[in-house]
Amino acid sequence: MEKMTIEGHEYDIYTMADWTRDRELKVEVGQVVEPDVFWQLCEALPPHRWGRGVFQPGEPHDHDLDTGMALYRTFHHLGGDYYKYVGLKN
């Protein structure tokens, strides 16, 4: 797994090679997606949310069983085209 330092913090990087190997997106909480992964997620469908440092791809990943609300993979912006995965949020 590749690693990268951003503003003094070291992160594991989820790459397109990881995605190809896994045959599905298996990014883990705390990992940073490389720009190629970010742009693939961004361009597949219009984003559900993109602004104020948050990015959520356009397709829900799951639904909350109690409320029925859609849950989206959520990424926080670290700078440039680098986003850190922070989990499923509505």
Which tens digit of pLDDT belongs to each residue from 18-73? 999 999 999 999 999 999 999 999 999 999 999 999 999 999 999 999 999 999 99
For position 79, what pLDDT does the model report?
87
Instruction: Assess whether pLDDT exceeds 80 at residue 1.
Output: no
**Distance between CA 37 and CA 19 in Å, rounded?**
8
Instruction: Assess whether pLDDT exceeds 90 at residue 7.
Output: no
The whole-model pTM stands at: 0.89
**Position of tokens 């791809």?**
57
For position 48, what pLDDT does the model report?
94
**Distance between CA 69 and CA 42 in Å, rounded?**
21
